[in-house]
Amino acid sequence: MYIESKGLDEMTSVYSSQYNEDEKAEALDILEQITDKKMDPKVVFDRYSQISHQYEKAMAVCNYNGPKETAATVAQLFPSNRNNVCMLDVAAGTGLCASELKKYNFLELAALDASEGMLSEAKKKKLYGRYIIGVLGENALDINDDTYDAVIICGLSTDIMRRLPIQAFETLIRIVKKGGYVVNTSFYTTFTDGHIETEDFRGHMRTLESQGKWKQVKVRRFHEYLQGHDGAVSVHRIC
């Protein structure tokens, strides 16, 4: 799971009030270690492994609500028979989304993440049936066509999102069953026209829709993705 970086001045508004100043400073230090845009992606993934045991505490301090909103949206998409719904959690991290999905009786979950350390933390909680160490990108994933009822992406940074090639999304479409969903949760600006950083990302979304591969059926804005920053859940249905 990769959270978008914020500057020091912006970060002062995203802390949960229940934590003290030392805990806030520690959370900020952790975020700075994993959100340097100048770092090579492999270095970033290694950094995530190094701080994996501290990650969930840092996200709690920063009042991160993306997983709760993601799970609530997925629950609306699948109102019944949830224990048989198969999902892939992309950028799964330590399993924050999986923990929320379990509350709705979603049981058939698989995890994909580039950080072995993050997935090791998830394994301790026995959240997933399959753990895949890999990077979403141009390379094909070792997953059969039409495997999942849904793919969820929660907390992938805008910096990584904007660099994903269109092949990455074509892969997600390939592995999701017809009529299934790709659910993507991020900062609201990620999905907003005029936000330059994610212009290519939105272009890929529209291109795939014009090709008849999927259709966007929902963009739900919500408050407090991180405290003081709105988020949104985008839902595409596979055609």
In which band, very low, low, confident or very high, does the pLDDT at 54 lie, cut at 50, 70 and 90?
Answer: confident
In which band, very low, low, confident or very high, does the pLDDT at 76 lie, cut at 50, 70 and 90?
Answer: very high
Is the confidence at residue 1, as pLDDT, over 60?
no
Task: Write out pLDDT tens, residues 151-201.
Answer: 999 988 777 788 889 999 999 999 999 999 999 999 999 998 887 888 999
* pTM score of the predicted model: 0.86
- Could you say which architecture CATH assigns to the domain 66-238? 3-Layer(aba) Sandwich (3.40)
Measured distance CA(95)–CA(99) in Å, rounded: 6
pLDDT at 156: 83
In which band, very low, low, confident or very high, does the pLDDT at 5 lie, cut at 50, 70 and 90?
Answer: very low
* Least confident interval from 23-37, 72-86, 123-137, 198-212: 23-37
Task: Write out pLDDT tens, residues 109-133.
Answer: 999 998 888 899 999 999 999 999 8
pLDDT at 63: 77
Q: State the average pLDDT for the chain.
A: 84
**What is the average per-residue pLDDT within 96-113?**
96
Domain ranges of the chain: 8-61, 66-238
pLDDT at 7: 38
pLDDT at 210: 97
pLDDT at 181: 98
pLDDT at 149: 98
Give the whole-number percent of the chain exceeding pLDDT 90: 55
pLDDT at 160: 78
Is the confidence at residue 10, as pLDDT, over 80?
no
